[in-house]
Structure 1
Amino acid sequence: MSPALDIDLLRTFVAIADTRTLGRAAGRIGRTQAAVSMQVKKLEAMLDQPLLNRTGRGVALTLHGERLLDHARAILRQHDAAVADLSGAGLVGTLRFGCPDDYAAAFLPHILRSFAGRHPQVFVEVVCAPTPRLQAQLAKHALDLALVSTPEAGDTAAVLRREPLVWVGNRHDDAAAREPLQLALSDPDTLDHRAACERLDAAGRPYRVAYASGSISGLLAVVRSGQAIAVLTQAAVPDDLQVLAPGGRLPGLPAVGLVLRFGLARPPALAVAFAEHLQRIVPTL
């Protein structure tokens, strides 16, 4: 008789595959690391195959583990959808959601609060990072879905919201008048970094990228110090800083679109439900 795959064991296995460490997987599913290790051994014994290789940095899936992962995700999607449909208790499970750092403070509280009101049994794991990092996570299936920024001339049909990029400075310093212009920018492959450099180059304005940070908190700290100006989406500008109007020697900047991307071609029911929620709410924020 073939062994029956236990849902709890599969959920633990997927958590390990996602986090690549037993400790983080234990935290995600609310068990001790020792319990997680025992569950892995039980699953390996049931299948009579090694599923994980321990490494100095965590764990890696074996060939059998990689094969099981696709099956495990599909089984859990169907299981969670069936439970939610038949119990009438709403969706249950864990959702991995990515959001660009500059939208987190402005959008996330309302998005998460309103979704939790409808689906209180869903645990949402939020990853805030620049769009290129989120896209890399989606490609590795480490995220179920993410909001990502796209160029102004991107797929207009898929855009949930448009946000202008703006120059941002300290209210009490005239950093925009310095020569060369001192900039605080995010990673070179992000849309805001590219737009700032392209527009300044086209305008013939000398500039220097004096500060760099992959997080918006780092960029805001530099701008608050008065040492440089930054480029942010308008929604990300805090009240204590000012938007610097283009004109004179500051060129105009483009807008960016905000679109949804899934980690899988056939996303799980949780991801579809959260995407529908985002499509309803993001344009109104």
Structure 2
Amino acid sequence: MALSLDIDLLRSFVMIAEAHSLSRAAERIGRTQSALSQQVRRLEEIVEQPLLQRTGRGVLLTYQGERLLNHAQRILRHHDEAMAELSGKGLSGTLRFGCPDDYAAVFLPHLLRGFASQHPQASVEVVCAPTPRLLEQIDRHALDLALISLAEGSDKAVIRREPLVWVGCPGTGAADFAPLPLALSQPDTLDHLAACNALRALGREYRIAYASSSLAGLIALVRSGQAVAVLTQTAVPADLQILAGDAALPVLPSVGIALRFGQGQPTPLVDALAEHIRQLLPSL
């Protein structure tokens, strides 16, 4: 009898692939690493191919694993849509959601995939921009909901806190530069303000080498070795270096992550996404 792909095995496999770690995936879905390892072995037996390669920093997908991931994501999407339609569950409609680039790169895939499985008939339009620009769009009624950054010390329903860190190209340090070249977001953003205020307090000379709302642009300049950036710790790419303990750099504050609703009474769909984010974001 031909073997078939089990939905539960595929769901665990996709979670591992997204987390790049058995331990993180196990925490997110409430299972042990041993149980997930057994599921991966069972899936590998079914497809008769190795799917994961374990490294010192987590797990990587093999070529066969990458191919299966594409199929698994489509299978799960169609499965969840069918279940929601047949059961009569799930909300429909469209909402406009704002999110800063650094959070979008790390958190959005998990947040939106989970929300889509619960409400497959819903449509989410995503706008990526720095927090000040998102707040402007909230005020203009252009967004229904936004994930924003708040300064350290704010207690306005913070869902998660993220430390700001200095980031540089491996092999370089702040002492290599005079003045210190910075790659920062726009002047009214928290990373820009925190970096400049901390350096001025330390008496350290600096210059703005690059200022933009583009996270990709900031990271590209850091990769070139021409500047140091300030990012939330979770958004630091694996090929860049957190400059922790560098005596030439001051300690930076953390930021809080919170939700801001658009004007007027939130729709049930907006409330559902907000609650989904509150439940899932702290564990990502």
TM-score, normalization by structure 1: 0.68
Deviations 1:8-31 (A, max 9, x none): xxxxxxxxxxxxxxxxxxxxxxxx
Query: CA, structure 1 residues 105+213, in 2 after alignment: closer, same or farther (shift >3 Å)?
Result: same
* 1:176 Cα offset (Å): 4.9
**Amino acid paired to 1:170:** C
Q: How many residues align?
A: 199
Task: Check if 1:199 corresponds to 2:198.
Answer: yes
8 Å CA contact 1:169–1:176 kept in 2: the answer is no
> Shift of the alpha carbon at 1:174?
3.6
- Deviation track 1:227-260 (CA, whole Å, cap 9, x = no partner) reads 0000000011010101001441100000000000
Could you tell me how far apart the structure 1 residues matched to 2:175 and 2:163 are? 19
Q: Show CA shifts across 1:97-123 (max 9, x none).
A: 111111111100000111111100001
CA RMSD of aligned residues (A): 1.5
Measured at CA, do residues 122 and 176 of structure 1 come closer, stay the same or move farther in structure 2, by a change above 3 Å?
Answer: farther
User: Which one-letter code corresponds to 1:271 in the other structure?
Assistant: V
Is the Cα contact below 8 Å between 2:163 and 2:233 reproduced in 1? yes
Return the alpha-carbon distance in structure 1 between the equivalents of residues 189 and 178 of structure 2. 24
Structure-to-structure mapping, 1:123-134, within 5 angstroms = 123-134=123-134
User: C-alpha separation between the residues in 2 aligned to 1:98 and 1:152?
Assistant: 21
- Measured at CA, do residues 88 and 176 of structure 1 come closer, stay the same or move farther in structure 2, by a change above 3 Å? farther
Partner of 2:152: 152
1:118 is matched with 118
Give the 3-state SS of the residue equivalent to 1:154 in structure 2.
coil
Amino acid at match of 2:211: A
Secondary structure class of the residue paired with 1:256:
strand
- The runs of 5 or more residues in structure 2 that have no matched partner are 1-83
- 1:150 and 1:184 map into 2 onto residues whose CA distance is 21
> Identity of aligned pairs, percent?
65
Cα distance in structure 2, aligned partners of 1:265 and 1:281: 25
Shift of 1:89: 3.6
CA contact (8 A) 1:175 1:228 kept: no
Q: Note if 1:91 corresponds to 2:98.
A: no
Report the residue type matching 1:207 in the other structure. Answer: Y
4+ residue segments displaced more than 3 Å: 172-176
Letter aligned with residue 108 of structure 1: L
**Equivalent runs, 1:98-113 vs 2, <5 Å:** 98-113=98-113
Corresponding letter in the other structure for 1:243: I
